[in-house]
Structures are given as structure tokens and as C-alpha cells.
């Protein structure tokens, strides 16, 4: 009976951990959580023109594994935006990316990029934007396909804080934290 009690206790503890993670973690956020905020995030306004981005990538143990600076440029034609990105990493490597963003009249977002599998989906609501998508890492980064949840939060001064988590088989393998702000002309 002791082994059964131990197993039952372990299963109950694991179930409690899963419940807490679902209800009180990064993944538990919803765009509705930010709907009532006065500061309204409009991608066409706040993610527009030349943008400077600085950030860090954390590995699965919470340690910084990479730092980067990126130049972004976003243009809009109606509800369709094109965002080009050039990343410079502390390793000396660079990466060019391009996104196509399509906004629905209800705040919904479709996001497409060459390294995104299928179409990413999201929502802008109040002061926040959420995107979810599957990203395929480059072959030199292992070629893994990761489930990504991206959150962008608009601050009162117009700066955008970005926090993204990358998961494989439901386990967080990396996290990105970055700031984005309009680029000041040199």
C-alpha cells in the first residue's frame, strides 16, 4: 500500500503543478486580459517605419545564451504590413528575416514568414499583441520546429516590450526578451 500511496501522491503533485502552470504562467495570458487598458496598441501606428530593437535570448535553464541588436523597417498598405529585420548577434553572426502581417477588422492578425510553418495567428487587444506560430530553426541551429508564443506590450512612451517563449514537446527551450522603439535618425 505504501508504493501505491507514493505513486498516487506523485501523480497528484504533478497534476497540481500542471494546473498552476496553466493558470498562473506566461501561457495563461489572454489578449482579453489587456482589453480594458487605456493605452491602445495599433500595429499600423506603433510598429511602423524604422525601428531599433535590442534583446537577449535565454536558454532552458534561464541563462543568457545570446544578445542581439536588430534594425527593423515596417511599411503598411492598408491592413497589410511588411516587416524586414536584420539581426546582429553577439557571436558575430547576422540574420535577415521578413514578415508579412495581415490585420483583420476585429484585431486578429495573420503572420507569415519563410521560417514560419503555416500561418501564425494572433490578436491585438488593448495594450498588448499576442502571436502564436511554429518556427523552423535554421539547419545550423538544429533545424528544430518550435511552438512560439509572442507577446508584445505597448508602454506609455511608445516603446514595445517583446517577450517570446519557444517550446518543444510542451517544454520551454528558450525565451526572448527585447525592446522595440522608433529609430532615431542619425
User: Does any domain span residue 17?
Assistant: no
How many angstroms separate the CA atoms of 22 and 41, rounded? 26
pLDDT value, residue 38:
76
pLDDT value, residue 36:
74
Rounded mean pLDDT for each run of 10 residues along the chain, 186 residues in total: 72 63 62 76 92 96 95 96 96 95 94 96 93 91 91 93 95 95 84
Domain that holds residue 170: 32-182
User: Does any domain span residue 19?
Assistant: no
User: Does any domain span residue 84?
Assistant: yes
User: Does any domain span residue 177?
Assistant: yes
Please give the DSSP secondary-structure letter assigned to residue 91. T
pLDDT value, residue 147:
95
Can you give the CATH number for the domain in which 54 is found? Answer: 2.40.128.20
**Phi/psi at 58 (5° precision):** -105, 140
The tally of domains found in the chain comes to: 1
pLDDT value, residue 3:
74
User: Does any domain span residue 124?
Assistant: yes
Closest CA to 165 of 181, 178, 183, 184: 178
User: Does any domain span residue 9?
Assistant: no
Amino acid at each position: 500500500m505504501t508504493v501505491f500511496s507514493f505513486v498516487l501522491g506523485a501523480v497528484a503533485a504533478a497534476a497540481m503543478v500542471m494546473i498552476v502552470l496553466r493558470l498562473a504562467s506566461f501561457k495563461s495570458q489572454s489578449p482579453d486580459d489587456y482589453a480594458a487598458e487605456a493605452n491602445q496598441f495599433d500595429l499600423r501606428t506603433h510598429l511602423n517605419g524604422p525601428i531599433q530593437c535590442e534583446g537577449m535570448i535565454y536558454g532552458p535553464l534561464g541563462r543568457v545564451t545570446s544578445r542581439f541588436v536588430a534594425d527593423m523597417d515596417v511599411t503598411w498598405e492598408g491592413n497589410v504590413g511588411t516587416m524586414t529585420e536584420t539581426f546582429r548577434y553577439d557571436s558575430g553572426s547576422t540574420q535577415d528575416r521578413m514578415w508579412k502581417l495581415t490585420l483583420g477588422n476585429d484585431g486578429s492578425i495573420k503572420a507569415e514568414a519563410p521560417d514560419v510553418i503555416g500561418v501564425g495567428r494572433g490578436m491585438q487587444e488593448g495594450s498588448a499583441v499576442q502571436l502564436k506560430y511554429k518556427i523552423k530553426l535554421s539547419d545550423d541551429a538544429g533545424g528544430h520546429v518550435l511552438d512560439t508564443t509572442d507577446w508584445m506590450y505597448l508602454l506609455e512612451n511608445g516603446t514595445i516590450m517583446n517577450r517570446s517563449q519557444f517550446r518543444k514537446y510542451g517544454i520551454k527551450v528558450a525565451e526572448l526578451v527585447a525592446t522595440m522603439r522608433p529609430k532615431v535618425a542619425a
